Amino acid sequence: MAQSPQTFEAAKCPSDELSLTNQLFFHPEDVLHSTTQHLVLQCGKGDFIFMLGTSPKMTKGQIGFSLIQRRWTNVSIGERVCIKFSHKFDPRKAAIANLLVEADFLLKKNATNDPYNTDDMRVEFTQCFPQMPLTVGQELVFKYKDKRHLLLRVKELELLLPDGRTEPAKIGIVSGNTIVTFEKLSADSPLTLTGKAKGKQVYQSIINPDWNFSMMGIGGLDREFSDIFRRTFASRIFPPDLVEQLGMNHVRGLLLYGPPGTGKTLMARQIGKMLNAREPKIVNGPSILDKYVGESESKIRQLFAEAEEEYKRVGNNSALHIIIFDEIDAICKTRGSVGGGTQVHDTVVNQLLTKMEGVEPLNNILVIGMTNRKDMIDEALLRPGRFEVQMEISLPDQHGRLQILEIHTGQLRKNGKLAQDVDVQELAKETKNFSGAELAGLVRAATVTAMNRLVQASDTVRLDPDAVDRLLVQRGDFMHALEHDVKPAFGTQEEELDRYITGGIIDWGEPVQHIVQNGSLATRAARAEAEQSLDSGRPVALLLEGPPNSGKTALAVHIARQSGFSYVRLCTSKRMIGYSEVAKCQAIKQHFDDAHKAKQAVIILDGLEGLIDYSPVGPRYSNYVLQALRDLITAPLPKNRSLLLLGTTSCREALLELGLVQCFTAGKIHVSNLTNSDELLEALKKVDSAEFTKEELDRIKKETQNRHLNVGIKELLDVVRMTNRVEEMDRVRYFLDRLIEDGRLQE
């Protein structure tokens, strides 16, 4: 016959030691008639099953609860509850086969960094709680050896069935064969669990849950960001347990390099916002350097100190620590390359190497470096384990420029301040070679131009009263900014190139057409080199040689501009006056380095004999610069890059002996002077500044026929300009006399 429930008054457990048993305690005389070691507690929140315990310290008619038990059952001190002492489990169906419990410190103030071995905890758990009934959601206190008290919460359990199978259940009894698995109660818990009985940890994704990629605010870098995400963050999305099983280390270093203004710093900052990580530490490279010995290295150690402390405490469960170095080339130059007795740069590089991948490498850091000069960084930092992922952030293409312009004009469009005649597609086409920063500057300049229209400047400067309502940024404002305010620092040097072909190319005969055709062939060859190359191609090098003033530079500039390549640079000794040999080599090399960053580039090596300081007296030349030019002209290109080299010289024979002519494998084209009257007359007809009448031209033809002529087109233009200033003299006679004086026209 079943026993009737009995009523007891809830009270505190008689001692802390007894509360650790997780039993309900009675006075021995109150449970004399109990037939089982398990009981059912009936209260307002429902029925709960506990193990029965007795203590003479208990008062008759009371039940001793621990604080955790009262919290779980929602029973208050002094509350009357009902107890049934007749509950029995079927031993064939009640044994717990698998038990998953969540653990944390009972008191946060007692948290410790000591690791808790879950394999030992499993054994001690079954020994402390034999035949203990457990319910999903139940909380209990567990003291593992002499360590701090832990709060355990039953998360899942499976019962062992008679046929050997297991099935999920809500309640069961702990046996000596119960397999207990522990996991942390929360991701930010300081509890450190080790061992095989450690379950899957509560894991928070590395990607901020409130983030979406439209918030990046970076245009034109879709491919680059995709590659960065794949190489750097994909492994961090997975839980630490899987990373441990794979035995892998995360990427610790990301290097962003490329021309100024292309978005390197912006991307680094946005990556820091995107990730669910500690607040990024942003450091300017030069600020690390210190005049006192050891201070620079100390600053590096301080940057990593917080990450080291957290990694020692919680291991792979540590949050990600991001350190961003702007202008990292300032502190990470190649060791041994910087003079001076302190060798500060070398020790800073050594310290950074040690922290990123030393004896005790960290798996919770990501160091992002940014530089315009990757070639200056010590090679040891660029190998796997350090700055393993190296991403070039180059100039945006047309699609990228469109994205950037849409971002920067978005606010204008949203507030109705962008005129209908503004076509962002058109602006993207017109802003070839613009970096992201320059595009942002273009929008700013156009906006300022629009604002300036509404400023009334007389004796005083006043603002139009209706300016706010009337302000509208129009297409003309952007065109004005393009023409006068913002020029791309990288790309073609339009103004400088214009000075060499102010009157355009004068097609005075078949020799000129032949040169232009060969230039077009070289351009197509250079373009095909990039499209068809699987590894690295070679520059297409074309040499224009001929007498001085024959128009070699103008023809080279014309070929370069006709190519349509995004990067065009004129390398001439005229811009290197006073340079030492080393400085000249560095300047020439910089042209090639920048050209390698562009997909399609042209470099004009104007006056090769001037670049190598050749002098026929002696003869003398700079072997240092000569060797540098040979190496740069013949060096292989980066993958999918094309480079057209156009050299000019008036000393072909001398450069042939020096071995420089042989480097121009695409051809050597002779640029000739005008040699007969027909070519002279054709040139004069096509020179816009020539003001000769038909009668004067006929006379010039008659005077020059059957005479030896050898005049460069550049000299001819100079003589024509001088002739145009003649007013009271015989213009034709003056023109011919100038040619005769210079020996260009002979009998």
Assign 3-class secondary structure to 408-447. Answer: HCHHHHHCCCECCCCCHHHHHHHCCCCCHHHHHHHHHHHH
Let me know whether 106 and 159 are in one domain: yes
Let me know whether 591 and 664 are in one domain: yes
180, part of any domain: yes
The 10s digit of each residue's pLDDT in 7-53 is 999 999 988 888 888 899 999 998 887 778 888 888 878 889 998 99
Whole-number Cα distances in Å, 349 to 195, 285, 320, 378, 570? 37, 12, 23, 8, 37
Last residue of a domain, one of 464, 490, 516: 490
89, part of any domain: no
- Confidence tier at 675 by pLDDT (50, 70, 90): confident
Last residue of a domain, one of 473, 490, 507: 490
* pLDDT at residue 605 is higher than 90: yes
204, part of any domain: no
- Within 10 angstroms of residue 675's Cβ, the number of other Cβ atoms is 14
Could you give the percent of the chain with pLDDT greater than 90? Answer: 17
Peptide bond into 190 cis (omega under 30): no
Could you give the percent of the chain with pLDDT greater than 70? Answer: 87
| Contact yes or no for 194/115 (Cβ under 8 A) | yes
The 10s digit of each residue's pLDDT in 425-451 is 988 888 877 888 888 889 999 988 888
Q: Which tops the pLDDT comparison, 91 or 417?
A: 417
| Contact yes or no for 626/582 (Cβ under 8 A) | no
pLDDT of residue 702: 85
pLDDT of residue 58: 92
Please report the DSSP string for 508-561 in residue order.
-SHHHHHHHHHHHHHHHHHHHHHHH-SS----EEEEEE-STTSSHHHHHHHHHH
The 10s digit of each residue's pLDDT in 404-424 is 888 888 888 888 888 888 888
- Within 10 angstroms of residue 287's Cβ, the number of other Cβ atoms is 13
Let me know whether 470 and 521 are in one domain: no
pLDDT of residue 292: 66
**Bridge partners (DSSP) listed for residue 367:** 253, 323
From 181, 144, 175, 178, select the one nearest 20 (Cα to Cα): 144
Let me know whether 581 and 636 are in one domain: yes
Tokens encoding 330: 């300032």
From 35, 126, 42, 135, select the one nearest 83 (Cα to Cα): 42
- Distance of alpha carbon 261 from alpha carbon 372, whole angstroms: 10
- Within 10 angstroms of residue 574's Cβ, the number of other Cβ atoms is 9
625, part of any domain: yes
Tokens encoding 155: 């998360």
- pLDDT, average across residues 535-553: 86
Please report the DSSP string for 19-38 in residue order.
HTTT-EEE-GGGGTT--SSE
| Contact yes or no for 192/115 (Cβ under 8 A) | yes
Helix axes 731-741, 694-704, angle to 10 degrees: 30
621, part of any domain: yes
Q: Which tops the pLDDT comparison, 656 or 146?
A: 656
- Distance of alpha carbon 478 from alpha carbon 439, whole angstroms: 11
Tokens encoding 528: 């095909």
Let me know whether 242 and 382 are in one domain: yes
pLDDT of residue 293: 67
Tokens encoding 329: 């080339």
Supply the CATH number for residue 170's domain: 3.10.330.10
pLDDT of residue 1: 42
Highest-confidence segment of 129-138, 635-644, 696-705, 716-725:
129-138
| Contact yes or no for 609/649 (Cβ under 8 A) | yes
Structural domain harbouring 629: 495-670
Let me know whether 239 and 388 are in one domain: yes
pLDDT of residue 157: 92
Highest-confidence segment of 50-59, 289-298, 380-389, 565-574:
50-59
Tokens encoding 406: 């849409």
Tokens encoding 339: 């003079």
Tokens encoding 464: 């139009």
Let me know whether 548 and 691 are in one domain: no
- Distance of alpha carbon 384 from alpha carbon 357, whole angstroms: 10
pLDDT of residue 534: 47
317, part of any domain: yes
- Distance of alpha carbon 588 from alpha carbon 532, whole angstroms: 28
201, part of any domain: no
For residue 724, the SS3 value is helix
* pLDDT at residue 649 is higher than 90: yes
Let me know whether 655 and 681 are in one domain: no
- Confidence tier at 341 by pLDDT (50, 70, 90): very low
pLDDT of residue 325: 85
Let me know whether 217 and 329 are in one domain: yes
pLDDT of residue 492: 60
- Distance of alpha carbon 625 from alpha carbon 7, whole angstroms: 103
pLDDT of residue 556: 92
- Confidence tier at 254 by pLDDT (50, 70, 90): confident
| Contact yes or no for 417/468 (Cβ under 8 A) | no
- How many separate domains does the chain show? 6
Tokens encoding 649: 């010289």
* pLDDT at residue 169 is higher than 80: yes
* pLDDT at residue 215 is higher than 60: no
- Distance of alpha carbon 565 from alpha carbon 16, whole angstroms: 82
Highest-confidence segment of 32-36, 61-65, 489-493:
61-65
- pLDDT, average across residues 311-326: 75
Supply the CATH number for residue 46's domain: 2.40.40.20
How does 65-85 read in b/e, with b if 16+ C-beta sit within 10 Å? Answer: bbebbbebbebeeebebebbb
- Distance of alpha carbon 564 from alpha carbon 601, whole angstroms: 9
For the chain, the C-alpha Rg in angstroms (whole number) is: 42
| Contact yes or no for 555/592 (Cβ under 8 A) | no
* pLDDT at residue 64 is higher than 90: yes
| Contact yes or no for 96/178 (Cβ under 8 A) | yes
Tokens encoding 661: 């002519």
- Distance of alpha carbon 421 from alpha carbon 473, whole angstroms: 9
- Distance of alpha carbon 305 from alpha carbon 272, whole angstroms: 19
State the SS3 of 155-188: EEEEEECCCCCEEECCEEECCCCCEEEEEECCCC
* pLDDT at residue 495 is higher than 80: no
- Within 10 angstroms of residue 161's Cβ, the number of other Cβ atoms is 13
- Distance of alpha carbon 678 from alpha carbon 509, whole angstroms: 9
- pLDDT, average across residues 59-84: 91
Q: Which tops the pLDDT comparison, 80 or 729?
A: 80
Q: Give the range among 153-167, 217-231, 545-559, 596-610 with minimum mean pLDDT.
A: 217-231
For residue 286, the SS3 value is helix
Q: Report the run of H or E that residue 569 belongs to, with start and end.
A: strand 567-572
Last residue of a domain, one of 369, 392, 415: 392
| Contact yes or no for 567/591 (Cβ under 8 A) | no
Let me know whether 632 and 708 are in one domain: no
Supply the CATH number for residue 433's domain: 1.10.8.60
CA 735 from centroid of its chain's CA atoms: 63
Long-range contacts of 286-291 (CB under 8 A, 24+ apart): 286/327, 286/330, 286/331, 288/330, 288/331, 288/348, 289/330, 289/331, 289/344, 289/345, 289/348, 290/344
For residue 320, the SS3 value is coil
Q: Report the run of H or E that residue 135 belongs to, with start and end.
A: strand 133-135
| Contact yes or no for 134/172 (Cβ under 8 A) | yes
- Distance of alpha carbon 92 from alpha carbon 455, whole angstroms: 92
- Distance of alpha carbon 97 from alpha carbon 165, whole angstroms: 9
- Confidence tier at 541 by pLDDT (50, 70, 90): very high
The 10s digit of each residue's pLDDT in 565-586 is 878 889 998 888 888 888 899 8
- Distance of alpha carbon 320 from alpha carbon 355, whole angstroms: 15
Task: Count the residues in the chain.
Answer: 747
pLDDT of residue 198: 64
Let me know whether 180 and 130 are in one domain: yes
From 394, 395, 393, 400, select the one nearest 428 (Cα to Cα): 400
- Distance of alpha carbon 146 from alpha carbon 173, whole angstroms: 26
* pLDDT at residue 294 is higher than 80: no
Highest-confidence segment of 201-215, 299-313, 508-522:
508-522
176, part of any domain: yes
The 10s digit of each residue's pLDDT in 367-383 is 888 888 787 888 888 88
- Distance of alpha carbon 430 from alpha carbon 446, whole angstroms: 14
- pLDDT, average across residues 48-77: 91
φ, ψ for residue 38, nearest 5 deg:
-115, 150
- Within 10 angstroms of residue 452's Cβ, the number of other Cβ atoms is 11
- Confidence tier at 388 by pLDDT (50, 70, 90): confident
- Distance of alpha carbon 460 from alpha carbon 259, whole angstroms: 43
According to DSSP, the β-strands at 540-545 and 253-257 are unpaired
Let me know whether 370 and 407 are in one domain: no
Whole-number Cα distances in Å, 540 to 408, 572, 600, 723? 39, 19, 11, 41
